[in-house]
Amino acid sequence: MISCSRNPGVFAFSMPDKPGKVDHIFHFRSTRITTVYNARSRGAATGIRCCGGKKGREDCVPRNYYELLGVSTDSTPQQIKDAYRSLQKKHHPDIAGQKGHDYTLMLNQAYRTLMREESRSRYDTACGRRSEWSGSKYSGLGYSSWNGPLRSQALFVDEHRCIGCRECVHHASETFEMDEAFGSARVKVQFGDHAKNIEVSVDSCPVNCIHWVDAEELPLLEFLVRPQPKQAYGVFGGGWERPADVFAAAKSLKKQLKEHKEKKRNRDRKGDAEIEPETTAQTKARYHASMKLQFQELLQMFGRLGEFFVAKESKEK
């Protein structure tokens, strides 16, 4: 019986507006982005392409602009602007000295790209990023595990309503458990007890917060009912929050998910069209070019021959 909990890594890159954190975030993600970069080394490269010289190649790995600026992918232009300014104030060569040069270069590039709607959406496509929205941490997996065959109905405790009376745990201890931190009950294993015991537990709830829900909707509800970290502004705000009406929230999130999927599909289609720059002739030319490089000696001979013919022709004339 494996219970699948939230992916612990997710939270590491969901902390916007914290310039100090940015560096860690880079390390966390850089490998992934490198792969993206290599996979389409010609098409999707960003403007920051190093031209040799003293800078090593590692510096040239384009970082994710959103992470560079420390904003979330759904941030508004105003948020990007604010983040850009506060980072500039820290890293601009006027303030940080020459060592801030490279960082500011990238900041400027990121800002330029993300501030224009058109280039931003193109960037999102090129990076193969889904734009992350409020439900970004939703993994699609619920909290509770299943005992026995899958059924169309599942048990769900609205933890927001639960008063922590422990009645349900008392009657069906294999199915329900108490979350001591929040003081509320939750479903540990679907159908962990006999149907009769479960029936009793549901009935015994004094606030009627145990619901039979669609198995399909269960993961969504279980995700939403858990408190989510709230974005902090300096020392204000922050903490945790969860929707007051979990069912309504699930409905809207479901809708969002669907829209997002469609949007992504459209974008991918468009993106594919965009990343097909070379015509057959160009590909051919390119192929020939690299072939020629390999046979450079031969080529030089051709060159001499060519000169010879030209000379001959002019002589004939």
Out of 300, 301, 308, 309, the only residue in the binding site for other proteins (CB under 8 A) is 300
DSSP E strands, 189-305: 189-190, 210-214, 228-229, 232-233, 236-237, 240-241
189-190 vs 236-237, strand pairing mode: unpaired
Q: How far is CA 205 from the centre of its chain?
A: 40
CB of 48 to other proteins, least distance (A): 7
Which residues between 63 and 92 bind other proteins (CB under 8 A)?
A: 81-82, 85-86, 88-89, 92
Which residues between 103 and 162 bind other proteins (CB under 8 A)?
A: 104-105, 108-109, 111-113, 119, 122-123, 126-127
Quick check: 187 and 229 in contact, CB under 8 A?
no
Q: What are phi and psi of 109, to 5 degrees?
A: -65, -45
CB of 259 to other proteins, least distance (A): 25
CB of 75 to other proteins, least distance (A): 16
Q: Does 51 bind other proteins (CB under 8 A)?
A: yes
Q: Does 261 bind other proteins (CB under 8 A)?
A: no
Pick left, alpha or beta for residue 234 (phi over 0 → left; psi -120 to 50 → alpha; otherwise beta).
left
Half-sphere exposure of 77 (CA within 13 A, CB side): 10
Q: Does 235 bind other proteins (CB under 8 A)?
A: no
Sign, CA torsion 151/153/158/162: negative
CB of 74 to other proteins, least distance (A): 19
Of 149-157, 186-194, 223-231, 274-282: span binding other proteins (CB under 8 A):
274-282
Largest Cα span, the chain? 110
Give the three-class secondary structure for 190: strand
Out of 195, 273, 277, 317, the only residue in the binding site for other proteins (CB under 8 A) is 277
Question: Which residue number, 48 or 225, has a Cβ lying nearer to other proteins?
Answer: 48
CB of 101 to other proteins, least distance (A): 5
Specify burial of residue 269 (Cβ count, 10 A radius: 0-12, 13-18, 19+): exposed
Q: Does 43 bind other proteins (CB under 8 A)?
A: yes
Which residues here bind other proteins, judged by CB under 8 A? Answer: 41-53, 81-82, 85-86, 88-89, 92-95, 97-98, 100-101, 104-105, 108-109, 111-113, 119, 122-123, 126-127, 274-275, 277-278, 282, 285-286, 288-290, 292-293, 296, 299-300, 303, 306
